[in-house]
Amino acid sequence: MGIIYWEGVRMVISREDRVGVRGMRRFAGVYIAAKCPVGEDVNPETKVNEPWRRITGITVSQERHMDVKERRAGIRDLVKWIREFTDDDLRFSIGAGSAKACARAANYSMDGYSGNNAPVEVKLFSSDFDGSDENEIWASEGRSVELILRICTELNITRNKLSELIKEVRGITATELIDGFRINHVKRALAERVKLHARELWMSPGLYANVLISDARLHVYGGGGGKSDYFVDAEEGWRRKELWETRSERKEALLAEYDAGWRRGDSSRDGFAAGLGFRNFAELNRACLNTYGKSARQVVWDLCGEIIDYYLAREIEELRGLACCEHVSAGVVRARYLYCGDMARPVGDAARVSGVWEALDGEWRVGMGRWLG
């Protein structure tokens, strides 16, 4: 029971009547908003059906009549829109392929790195410190603000509502979805760092074969302008290894160089992450775990394996080409010894293209060759 006073008269209203009064008030408010707009800027078509409703087709009038299949199809269209918005916002000319999937993309140019996340050179005596420059440049400009806030503004939707919709089809939040889209840029940037370290260690693919041939522990005897026989005598304790046997140690060396690169002072993990739209490297690492089920370092480990595979295959081909030369020299004899363990010129199957090179996918070889140079 409830007690109210109206014009000084004490009135008693039952609980059922009070519930009915509140229901009539709610109905009146909805009816007035829909049928009696006030002001020039009140338009039910644009006010009720926000951009996210028009993209998904889940309008106010249709939502109650849609089944689960139609609703999920509309939300998938919203996910596609978010992906396009994310790509347009975060796209930058990174010029790098990463792993076989990126190398297979024929329309991908892999000729340099010019991303916006490159650190800005800081000079002591410049206008950078006096604050007079109106056009200031920030390392993570356009990426420091959370992308999800801009998406919510474009769609005229709250962050919680957007996450609820995405969970219906993906089972993850909106933030995790956007991080997954941004991971493609992260993987390319990580691959570019690994590529630079590989070039520091072994130069361009195939050139390291000349370093192997120049090994001073392989003594060559004989000679005379190619008219005399040559033979190789290795130092005691030196063992001839197939190039493929060195894969694991080369992979470890490349990963160690990647780890040391952060400690040299020319770049930092957090600065790298900020340039890619993350607050810090821990957030980037968490995005890798959510998307791939691997940490950023494990992703780099996989990339190292693919780069080493291409390097070793190219070096084997370089050794084969030198070993098949008709003109004999000290370098040719060393190449023959490293390639097949003999000083004789390879013939037959041994002179053909190596099985290691043929085993690699042709389209992948072309893409990796263009990217690694």
Closest CA to 294 of 197, 175, 187, 143: 187
Tokens of 349: 């199957």
Lowest-pLDDT choice from 32-36, 67-71, 160-164, 227-231: 32-36
Q: Tell me if 350 sits within 8 A of 359, measured CB to CB.
A: no
Look at residue 263 and tell me if it is in a domain.
yes
Per-residue model confidence as pLDDT tens digits over 12-31:
555 556 556 666 666 665 65
Helix (H, G, I), strand (E, B) or coil at 231: strand
pLDDT above 70: residue 349: yes
Lowest-pLDDT choice from 66-70, 130-134, 273-277: 130-134
pLDDT top residue among 362 and 141: 362
pLDDT of residue 88: 79
Look at residue 135 and tell me if it is in a domain.
no
Helix (H, G, I), strand (E, B) or coil at 106: coil
Look at residue 45 and tell me if it is in a domain.
no
pLDDT of residue 259: 93
Look at residue 69 and tell me if it is in a domain.
no
Tokens of 280: 């810090």
User: How far is CA 354 from its chain centroid?
Assistant: 32
DSSP letter for 55, please: H
169: Cβ–Cβ under 8 A, 6 or more apart, which residues? 72, 75, 76, 79
46: Cβ–Cβ under 8 A, 6 or more apart, which residues? none
Q: Which domain holds residue 1?
A: 1-36
pLDDT top residue among 60 and 131: 60
Tokens of 372: 């690694």
How many other C-beta atoms lie within 10 A of the C-beta of residue 205?
A: 22
Helices (H), the chain: 15-35, 44-48, 51-56, 60-63, 68-90, 99-103, 147-155, 159-169, 174-202, 208-213, 247-263, 269-275, 281-292, 296-323, 330-340, 355-359, 362-372
Closest CA to 369 of 361, 212, 339, 115: 361
pLDDT of residue 257: 94
pLDDT of residue 112: 35
Residue % of the chain over a pLDDT of 90: 23
Q: Mean pLDDT, to the nearest integer, of 60-83? A: 88
pLDDT of residue 92: 42
pLDDT of residue 305: 92
In order of 73, 81, 173, 319, the CA distances from 165 in angstroms are 11, 13, 9, 58
pLDDT of residue 326: 85
Q: Mean pLDDT, to the nearest integer, of 123-132? A: 48
pLDDT of residue 99: 43
pLDDT top residue among 144 and 152: 152
Tokens of 18: 């009070």
Q: How many whole angstroms separate alpha carbon 117 and alpha carbon 142?
A: 11
Look at residue 221 and tell me if it is in a domain.
yes
Q: How many whole angstroms separate alpha carbon 167 and alpha carbon 75?
A: 10
pLDDT band at 275 (very low <50, low <70, confident <90, very high): confident
pLDDT of residue 314: 92
pLDDT of residue 4: 52
Per-residue model confidence as pLDDT tens digits over 76-89:
999 999 988 888 77
Which residue, chain included where needed, has tokens 């926000």? Answer: 50
What mean pLDDT value characterizes the chain?
76
Look at residue 305 and tell me if it is in a domain.
yes
205: Cβ–Cβ under 8 A, 6 or more apart, which residues? 310, 311, 314, 315, 369, 372, 373
pLDDT of residue 109: 34
Q: Tell me if 230 sits within 8 A of 223, measured CB to CB.
A: yes
Look at residue 337 and tell me if it is in a domain.
yes
pLDDT above 90: residue 217: no
Lowest-pLDDT choice from 122-136, 220-234, 236-250: 122-136
pLDDT of residue 20: 62
Q: How many whole angstroms separate alpha carbon 272 and alpha carbon 283?
A: 12
Look at residue 111 and tell me if it is in a domain.
no
Tally of domains within the chain = 2
pLDDT of residue 253: 95
Per-residue model confidence as pLDDT tens digits over 327-342:
888 889 899 999 888 8
pLDDT band at 296 (very low <50, low <70, confident <90, very high): very high
pLDDT top residue among 319 and 96: 319
Per-residue model confidence as pLDDT tens digits over 166-203:
999 988 888 888 888 888 788 889 999 999 999 999 99
